[in-house]
Structure 1
Amino acid sequence: MSYGMIATMMFSLMMLLMATGQRVFAAIGAVASIAAILLWGNGGVEIPFTAAVKLMNWYPMLTLPMFIFMGYILSESKIADDLYKMFHVWMGPMPGGLAIGTIGLMVLVSAMNGLSVAGMAIGATIALPELLKRKYDKKMVTGVVQAGSSLGILVPPSVVLVLYAMIARQPVGQLWLAGVIPGLVMAVLFILYVAIRCRINPSLGPVLSAEERNVPMSEKLRLLGAGILPLGIFAVMMVPFVNGWTSLVESSAIGAMAAFLAAILKRRMTRVVFENSVRSTLAISCMFMWIILAALGFGAVFDGLGAVKSIETLFTEQLGLSPWTILILMQLSFLVMGTFLDDTAMLVIVAPLYVPLVHALGFDLIWYGVLYTVTSQIAYITPPFGYNLFLMRAMAPPGITLRDIYSSIGPFVAIMVLSLILIMIFPQMALWLPDYVYGK
């Protein structure tokens, strides 16, 4: 049996196991380990062992639990809730202001947590009921929450980009910086869409009533200070790193400690908050570490089979496709897989094939990490089976139906596709900031 056929069988078996509902790391790790032993006998045992050692020796991996802990502390202690109160007071007097404030909330929550599910939870449980109560168009604001929450996997400290960095062997810091400008551009485009649409039709996003707008300036300033606190924590963490004063791991520790101290100073650090934060951090960190371990083992077996070289030869020599055509086909495959897989599963499944192929085609792997992440965002909210669509259905108030959720997302998908095209046409959108920072 040829190595190409063996690689195809491995991929097919892995997809079959995942279709049965097995955990991602179990399906991938089992196929990799069994294939290694069958192919190379006792020596195959060294492949998963080497992958585990490589993971344990990867020092930047320490950032993962630090950033997750920071996000959960800010969420569990309700510091994140202060952000919405701030946007409510300051943005409410303008048409669509609360929806625009919700997008700002999503960006800041993303900068605190790095996971899209955190933004979805806060947006669906805090912002969405308030928006509906004030007669905002339910389709528009449902799309706002879904699209805004997807920024969590692009804006630093993105946990997904940490996973990509490990698999692609690229610096986490450069990937995070590469996601900043595309993430902000996408957020600005969301805001412009909401602002223009509500300007044309103010009934979609009514201004707050006179009673709610009549807030003393002292109260506005107090809420502004409370809302800016998470942004201050992010600045305390990232400014030393961007200026080269601290390493990435040291900055993540600063961020976690700053969030912990902020919760103490605001007298919200209870035993329940601390225990929930630690338990959630441990669960999420272990899950990602198992996934990375499985992905490294699977990638090592694929490298040993020469599967990547076979695929490169198929596309470039036998089919005669151009590098850009191959890249676009890759992105389309992400959109298809995103209808039934989350971003982590997609990355782990195709990274052993796609990342070396992207490098062989001459594309920048930092730039491609941003492309992958934006494509995953689109796949997340694309009907009929986008991952975030069903998360929203589970978290949304009773008045929001699945039909509302599906029909709300079209304009935001179009904006994301536009953003993806812009990043492909102008790679410096992703590469300028890491080149500038690391060039110093």
Structure 2
Amino acid sequence: MSGFLSYEMIALLMFSSMMMSMLTGQRVFATIGFVGVVAAAVLWGNGGFEMGFSAGMKLMKWYPLLTLPLFIYMGYMLSESGIAEDLYKAFHVWFGGMPGGLAVGTIGLMVVISAMNGLSVAGMAIGASIALPELLRRGYDKIMVSGVIQAGSSLGILIPPSVVLVLYGMIARQPVSQLWLAGVFPGLMLATMFCLYIIIRCRLNPALGPALPKEERDMPMVEKLKLLRAGILPFLIFFLMMGLFLMGITSLVESSAVGALGALFAAWYKGRLSKAVWNRVLEQTLGISCMFMWIILAALCFGAVFDGLGAVRAIETLLVRDIGLTPWQILIIMQLSFLVMGAFLDDTAMLVIVAPLYIPLVGKLDLGVDNALIWYGVLYTITCQIAYMTPPFGYNLFLMKAMAPPDIRLIDIYRSVLPFVLIMMLGMVIIMIFPQIATWLPSQIYLRG
């Protein structure tokens, strides 16, 4: 086949075949893995079949892969055992006194949930089941609170321990520890930007987020401080897990085991470790973990064929030498294509589709950024956050519709995310202009180590 077509054309044919196959409705990993294996067999004969097997063996030997089920288990255990609900009561009293205060408290809750769970789904479920009914009962605008919960839950894939960054690290062959550290300041920056928007909007129009009546929040400081005890266990688990890791006492996998055991202990200590909770947590952990493993396997197989063709070098030559684009123009085009794909695909599908092309290309571009692939991992993850909330097929949009009361229509949910999507785009631009926001912390920890 290579005698009739150039390697560039073969790479283009693979890419277009993969995109067309996705229109059939098949699962992402099946589509990408199938195209990769078939292309390998056609190009290299019987030996090409071994590429898929080799990718599978590489996946099974990937020791950091053990972190995936452990972190997923930790997040589901903390959410299913109701620990997050206790924490929301504390935010309710502490932030309820100002206009939009409960919405700000909801963002705070989502930040804590994000630090306990590497996925957006858990934050979405907690926000929709705990915060949404309370916010609506307090007279908050239904469109604004829908956007608050969706935006807040999306922080779960950026603030460590992020499962999406683990997935990116495995495919990009970058240290997960540095990716996690790179996500800390961007995640907190976005959370702060969300809070500032809520505060400013509710000060301009207090009807959107009325303050709690004084009698509901007028309690002695001692009682308020007691409410904060709800946050002791989640924060203790997070700081124990991350602290031991950053001090070099535990490895990444050992830290994930510490987090999983901490979540189990917390549920037992609260008296909520029932058989029903245990079964739900294990079922959800198994389902999500298997999905990620299949996706990584497919990405490795497809990427091996793409690398073997030299497609990345050909595209770099086309964009830089033939067309004459600057490295930053290429990066902007890549991000714009991500935003377009995000309207139709989820985060893992986007990563698997573009990983063989974009990740090596970023490594070759002269962007003048230290740890470019670490920095790009943060940009990719923010784009995934936007993808979760972008019509028509944003994942969070449909989750919100499924969990929201009937009076919140789909058009209301679409309208609710617009300001938060714009905020996230602004945040992504800021990190592109000032990459140190993402790269400073991992570089400091790395140098200190």
Using structure 1 for the length normalisation, give the TM-score: 0.97
Structure 2 counterparts to residues 87-98 of structure 1, below 5 A: 87-98=91-102
1:9 aligned onto 2:13: yes
2: CA distance, partners of 1:226 / 1:375: 33
In the other structure, the counterpart of 1:333 is: 337
In the other structure, the counterpart of 1:365 is: 373
Among candidates 125, 134, 140, match of residue 138 of structure 2: 134
In the other structure, the counterpart of 2:44 is: 40
2: CA distance, partners of 1:400 / 1:215: 34
- Alpha-carbon contact 1:119-1:152 (below 8 Å) kept: yes
Gaps of 5+ in 2: none
1: CA distance, partners of 2:185 / 2:242: 15
Instruction: Determine helix, strand or coil for the equivalent of 1:409.
Output: helix
Report the CA distance between 1:335 and its aligned residue.
0.5
Among candidates 396, 399, 412, match of residue 420 of structure 2: 412
1:52 aligned onto 2:56: yes
In the other structure, the counterpart of 1:347 is: 351
Among candidates 234, 239, 244, match of residue 240 of structure 1: 244
In the other structure, the counterpart of 1:122 is: 126
- Alpha-carbon contact 1:393-1:401 (below 8 Å) kept: yes
Deviations for 1:97-119, whole angstroms, at most 9, x for unmatched residues?
A: 10000001111111111111211
Report the CA distance between 1:218 and its aligned residue.
5.1
Among candidates 318, 325, 328, match of residue 322 of structure 2: 318
Instruction: Determine helix, strand or coil for the equivalent of 2:115.
Output: helix
Among candidates 186, 202, 212, match of residue 182 of structure 1: 186
2: CA distance, partners of 1:282 / 1:117: 15
Identity of aligned residues (%): 70
In the other structure, the counterpart of 2:395 is: 387
2: CA distance, partners of 1:400 / 1:423: 34
Report the CA distance between 1:216 and its aligned residue.
5.3
Report the CA distance between 1:84 and its aligned residue.
1.2
- Alpha-carbon contact 1:66-1:253 (below 8 Å) kept: yes
- Alpha-carbon contact 1:338-1:387 (below 8 Å) kept: no
For structure 1, which segment, 222-231 or 339-348, has the greater mean C-alpha deviation from structure 2 after superposition? Answer: 222-231
2: CA distance, partners of 1:25 / 1:311: 24
1:191 aligned onto 2:199: no
The runs of at least 4 consecutive aligned structure 1 residues that moved more than 6 Å come to none
For structure 1, which segment, 140-149 or 212-221, has the greater mean C-alpha deviation from structure 2 after superposition? Answer: 212-221
How big is the alpha-carbon RMSD for the aligned residues of Structure 1 and Structure 2? 1.3
Report the CA distance between 1:219 and its aligned residue.
4.3
Deviations for 1:225-275, whole angstroms, at most 9, x for unmatched residues?
A: 013321221111111111222111111111111111111111111111112
For structure 1, which segment, 84-93 or 282-291, has the greater mean C-alpha deviation from structure 2 after superposition? Answer: 84-93
Instruction: Determine helix, strand or coil for the equivalent of 1:113.
Output: coil
For structure 1, which segment, 288-297 or 404-413, has the greater mean C-alpha deviation from structure 2 after superposition? Answer: 404-413
- Alpha-carbon contact 1:84-1:127 (below 8 Å) kept: yes
In the other structure, the counterpart of 1:70 is: 74
Amino acid aligned to 2:130: I
Report the CA distance between 1:139 and its aligned residue.
1.5
In the other structure, the counterpart of 2:386 is: 378
2: CA distance, partners of 1:143 / 1:334: 21
2: CA distance, partners of 1:362 / 1:238: 33
Deviations for 1:261-297, whole angstroms, at most 9, x for unmatched residues?
A: 1111111111111121112111111110110000000
Among candidates 84, 87, 110, match of residue 83 of structure 1: 87
Instruction: Determine helix, strand or coil for the equivalent of 1:135.
Output: coil
Deviations for 1:312-342, whole angstroms, at most 9, x for unmatched residues?
A: 1111111110000000000000000001100
1: CA distance, partners of 2:175 / 2:284: 26
Report the CA distance between 1:210 and its aligned residue.
3.6
Report the CA distance between 1:361 and its aligned residue.
0.5
2: CA distance, partners of 1:123 / 1:88: 13
In the other structure, the counterpart of 2:410 is: 402
Report the CA distance between 1:384 and its aligned residue.
3.6
In the other structure, the counterpart of 2:433 is: 425
2: CA distance, partners of 1:398 / 1:404: 11
Deviations for 1:17-60, whole angstroms, at most 9, x for unmatched residues?
A: 21111111111111111111111111112211111111111111
Amino acid aligned to 1:438: Y
Deviations for 1:381-414, whole angstroms, at most 9, x for unmatched residues?
A: 2334333222222222212111211222222122
In the other structure, the counterpart of 1:225 is: 229
Deviations for 1:182-201, whole angstroms, at most 9, x for unmatched residues?
A: 00001001111111221222
- Alpha-carbon contact 1:83-1:228 (below 8 Å) kept: no
Among candidates 170, 177, 188, match of residue 173 of structure 1: 177
- Alpha-carbon contact 1:95-1:207 (below 8 Å) kept: yes
1: CA distance, partners of 2:279 / 2:223: 32
Instruction: Determine helix, strand or coil for the equivalent of 2:116.
Output: helix
Gaps of 5+ in 1: none
1:268 aligned onto 2:254: no
Amino acid aligned to 1:329: I
- Alpha-carbon contact 1:243-1:437 (below 8 Å) kept: no
For structure 1, which segment, 188-197 or 388-397, has the greater mean C-alpha deviation from structure 2 after superposition? Answer: 388-397
Report the CA distance between 1:220 and its aligned residue.
3.0
2: CA distance, partners of 1:416 / 1:384: 18
Amino acid aligned to 1:136: Y
For structure 1, which segment, 254-263 or 385-394, has the greater mean C-alpha deviation from structure 2 after superposition? Answer: 385-394
How many equivalent residue pairs? 440
1:20 aligned onto 2:28: no
2: CA distance, partners of 1:280 / 1:390: 19
Instruction: Determine helix, strand or coil for the equivalent of 1:383.
Output: coil
2: CA distance, partners of 1:54 / 1:307: 22
1: CA distance, partners of 2:124 / 2:24: 27
For structure 1, which segment, 174-183 or 225-234, has the greater mean C-alpha deviation from structure 2 after superposition? Answer: 225-234
